[in-house]
């Protein structure tokens, strides 16, 4: 449930030029509460509040309940004081998730597969590929809103703009049950009428910091130079982001993301083993297998999970989420080794010849948190940047090979070359020496 500020004045007709406005942000209204009313029609028109129990907080509230001042993250006990006649229901996440899957499958996915699901009730959509059939983004928004309302008794709000930032701000201001198109030449004006907190990502701490500099609206932000913004918020990166956002500019692509899916490989040893060397070799094979499968499908993964099954058939898993998504064995494998050591409490000083404390029957790894490689911003990690500056110091500039390429880039190139060899000569033709 969104608590982002809305402006009544922003919910107006901004014009009808849809040129370049191919990003939609869809946000279902009071989703949990709407679904409860949908399956209990007798609750229609009553204040419905999801989240009950003496120590719980409000997860969602119908618009009728919001009129009493009930809001998300408020203690349920407080909501009861504000709205004593409210209908308080427990959270039924399995039901909300099931309905979310149905709505995404049966309505949103009918338009395009370029959908970035943000949560059960919210997504971005890149409709540029669907315009041949639909002609106008607003026709798509109108159709989805009608379908979801008629079939599931849930209303949704839709923002239409040229980028994710403005589309999201538009859907927020379209609520409830509305649609707002912000033409490209109105992006700056629309964004600049908002209070600071109207920009997603400006939280209470940053707001306080900016207020202390006398900046109390997005229009004030837009009047500042990037240098003074950097002084105000103490970060060049953040200043650059604010500079762009205050003009309604956002370069992030809609990135289809499938949080639930994973790709994995595992194998049972011929006989149980205590050899770290053998377990590592198996994990190396699994990483290579999974990485080439990721590359084949054009995916990158952020989360690595190692799985071990022991001689007594009990098993253990441990996961790590990385700062950026990867698709190479050279990036996945070191994470697996670190996880293996952590799971079995093996100190970093112990080499591969040290016996494992338990007998291992099966080992494997999987990659999850998958996103399409094409839509990802290529952002070097801090390690890459450090390595580059080291390399520049030792080699000087203008080295003929791999100018501007990080070690990670070069390893990725090697693995792609390996993919090509395997496509030609079969999967056993070459393997990776990490
Ligand atoms: Mg919502």
| DSSP notation for 279-294 | HHHHHHHHHHHHHHHH
Of all residues in the chain, what percent carry a pLDDT higher than 90?
58
Q: What CA–CA distances, in Å, run from 40 to 28, 34, 44, 80, 198? A: 18, 10, 8, 21, 34
Q: For 317-342, what is each residue's pLDDT tens digit?
A: 999 988 788 999 999 999 999 999 99
The single residue of 18, 36, 122, 372 carrying the catalytic annotation is 122
**N-terminal to C-terminal alpha carbon distance within the chain:** 46
> Could you tell me if 381 and 329 are in contact, meaning their C-beta atoms sit under 8 angstroms apart?
no
Q: For residue 406, what pLDDT is reported?
A: 66
Residue 121 among known ligand-binding residues = yes
Residue 372 catalytic?
no
Q: Give me the percent of the chain exceeding a pLDDT of 70.
A: 88
If you measure from the C-alpha of residue 100 to the centroid of ligand 1, how many angstroms do you get, rounded to a whole number?
11
Which region among 270-274, 308-312, 429-433 has the lowest average model confidence (pLDDT)?
429-433
Per residue in 161-190, pLDDT (tens digit) is 999 999 999 999 999 999 999 999 999 999
**Taking a C-beta distance cutoff of 8 angstroms, is the pair 161, 23 a contact?**
yes
Tell how far the Cα of 121 is from the centroid of ligand 1, in angstroms.
5
For residue 134, the SS3 value is: helix
Q: Half-sphere exposure of residue 366, counting CA atoms within 13 Å on the CB side?
A: 14
Which tokens hold the place of 418?
């390996």
DSSP 161-176: ESSHHHHHHHHHHH-S
For the cut 50, the answer to whether the pLDDT of residue 133 exceeds it is yes
Give the span between the Cα atoms of 237 and 30, in whole angstroms: 34
Tens of pLDDT, residue by residue over 79-98, are 999 999 999 999 888 899 89
Contact 316, 310 (CB under 8 A): yes
CA of 198 to the centre of ligand 1 (A): 16
Q: pTM for this structure?
A: 0.64
As annotated, the residues of the chain forming the CATH 3.30.1490.100 domain(s) are 255-434
Class of domain 1-183 as given by CATH: alpha beta
Residue 220 has a pLDDT of 95
- Residues 385-404 have pLDDT tens digits of 444 444 444 444 333 344 44
Average pLDDT over residues 361-369: 92
**Where do you find CATH 1.10.150 in the chain?**
195-245
Q: Is the pLDDT of residue 24 over 90?
A: yes
Give me the architecture of the 195-245 domain, per CATH: Orthogonal Bundle (1.10)
More confident residue, 343 or 296: 343
**pLDDT tens, 194-250?**
999 999 888 888 888 899 999 999 999 999 999 999 998 888 888 898 999 999 999
Residue 28 has pLDDT above 60, yes or no: yes
CB 115 within 8 A of CB 256: yes
Calculate mean pLDDT across residues 5-33.
95
Q: What is the mean pLDDT of the chain?
A: 87
The Å distance, Cα 155 to ligand 1 centre, comes to 10
Q: What is the rounded distance in angstroms from the CA atom of residue 434 to the CA atom of residue 281?
A: 10
**Other C-beta atoms lying within 10 Å of the C-beta of residue 212:** 9
Among 116, 103, 186, 190, which Cα is nearest to 147's?
103
Per-residue model confidence (pLDDT) at position 238: 84
**CATH 3.30.70.270, the chain: domain bounds:** 1-183
User: Three-state DSSP class for 118?
Assistant: strand
> How remote is the CA of residue 313 from the centroid of ligand 1, in Å?
44
- CATH class of domain segment(s) 255-434: alpha beta
What's the pLDDT score for residue 6? 86
What does the pLDDT average to over 42-66?
Answer: 90
pLDDT for res 365: 96
With a CB cutoff of 8 Å and minimum separation 6, the contacts of 61 are 1, 30, 33, 47, 48, 49, 50, 70, 71, 72, 79
Average pLDDT of the residues in 348-364: 89
Q: What is the mean pLDDT of residues 32-57?
A: 91
- Out of 16-20, 259-263, 292-296, pick the least confident: 259-263
Most confident stretch, 180-194, 241-255, 286-300: 180-194
Cα(171) to centroid(ligand 1), Å: 10
Question: Which pLDDT score is estimated for 297?
Answer: 80
- For 292-316, what is the mean pLDDT? 88
pLDDT at 196: 94
């Amino acid at each position: 449930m969104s608590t982002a500020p809305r402006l009544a004045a922003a919910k107006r007709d901004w014009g009808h030029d849809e040129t370049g406005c191919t990003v939609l942000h869809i946000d279902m209204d009071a989703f949990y509460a709407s679904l409860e009313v949908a399956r209990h029609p007798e609750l229609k028109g009553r204040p419905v509040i999801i989240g009950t129990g003496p120590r719980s907080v409000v997860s969602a509230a119908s618009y009728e309940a919001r009129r009493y001042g009930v809001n998300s993250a408020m203690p349920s006990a407080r909501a009861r004081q504000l709205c004593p006649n409210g209908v308080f229901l427990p959270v039924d996440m399995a039901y909300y998730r099931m309905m979310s899957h149905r709505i995404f499958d049966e309505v949103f996915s009918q338009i395009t597969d370029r959908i970035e699901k943000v949560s059960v009730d919210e997504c971005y959509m890149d409709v540029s590929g669907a315009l041949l059939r639909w002609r106008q983004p607003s026709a798509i928004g109108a159709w989805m809103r009608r379908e979801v309302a008629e079939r599931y008794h849930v209303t949704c709000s839709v923002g239409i703009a040229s980028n994710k930032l403005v589309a999201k701000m538009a859907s927020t201001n379209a609520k409830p049950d509305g649609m707002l198109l912000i033409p490209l030449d109105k992006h700056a004006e629309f964004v600049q009428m908002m209070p600071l907190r109207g920009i997603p990502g400006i939280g209470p701490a940053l707001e306080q910091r900016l207020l202390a500099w006398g900046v109390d609206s997005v229009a004030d932000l837009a009047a500042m130079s990037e240098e003074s913004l950097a002084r105000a918020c103490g970060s060049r990166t953040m200043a650059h982001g604010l500079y762009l956002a205050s003009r309604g500019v956002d370069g992030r692509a809609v990135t289809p993301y499938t949080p639930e899916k994973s790709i994995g490989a595992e194998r049972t040893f011929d006989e149980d083993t205590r050899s770290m060397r053998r377990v590592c070799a198996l994990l190396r094979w699994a990483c290579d297998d999974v990485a080439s499968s990721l590359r084949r499908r054009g995916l990158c993964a952020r989360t690595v999970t190692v799985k071990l099954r022991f001689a007594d058939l009990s098993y253990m898993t441990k996961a790590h989420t990385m700062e950026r998504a990867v698709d190479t064995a050279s990036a996945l494998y070191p994470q697996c080794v670190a996880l293996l050591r952590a799971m079995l409490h093996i100190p970093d000083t112990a080499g591969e010849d040290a016996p494992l404390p338990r007998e291992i029957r099966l080992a494997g790894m999987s990659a999850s948190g998958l996103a399409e490689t094409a839509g990802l911003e290529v952002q070097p990690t801090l390690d890459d940047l450090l390595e580059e500056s080291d390399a520049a110091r030792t080699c000087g500039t203008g080295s003929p090979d791999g100018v501007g390429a990080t070690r990670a880039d070069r390893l990725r190139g090697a693995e792609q070359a390996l993919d090509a060899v395997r496509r030609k000569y079969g999967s056993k033709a070459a393997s990776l020496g990490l």
